[in-house]
Amino acid sequence: MNTLNSHYCNQDNVNELLAMDDKIFEDAIVLCKYTNGGRPDKCASVKPHGALAVLQFSDPFDYSHGEETGFPNDAGTEAYSELYLYQNYCLD
């Protein structure tokens, strides 16, 4: 079993990783940023390639404003990331 970071897990991210290794998602737990797409969409993009589960997390940088670089340097971002496991979407 592998753990794989697939950025936002959108189709472009998935295709880029598949171009590097067409079996990269097989038996993998895939890490995806929570934003830029629906929760089921992220699983749907990796499930056909053999992913076991998707862990989605909130990246504080995605919620920064303007020139902020995110926690801990700037205000307005949370000091933690929420983590969601969506294994049911990936399993038959």
Q: What are the pLDDT digits (tens) for 29-87? A: 898 887 777 777 888 899 899 998 888 877 766 666 667 666 566 654 454 445 555 55
Q: What are the pLDDT digits (tens) for 31-40? A: 888 777 777 7
Q: Are 34 and 9 in contact (CB under 8 A)?
A: no
What per-residue string of b and e applies to 8-20 under the rule 16 or more CB within 10 Å gives b?
bbbeebbeebeee
**Judging by DSSP bridges, how do beta strands 83-85 and 2-5 pair with one another?**
unpaired
Nearest residue to 50 via CA among 14, 73, 25, 68: 25
Domain ranges in the chain are: 2-85
Question: Domain 2-85 classified CATH 3.40.1260.10?
Answer: no
Q: Are 86 and 51 in contact (CB under 8 A)?
A: no
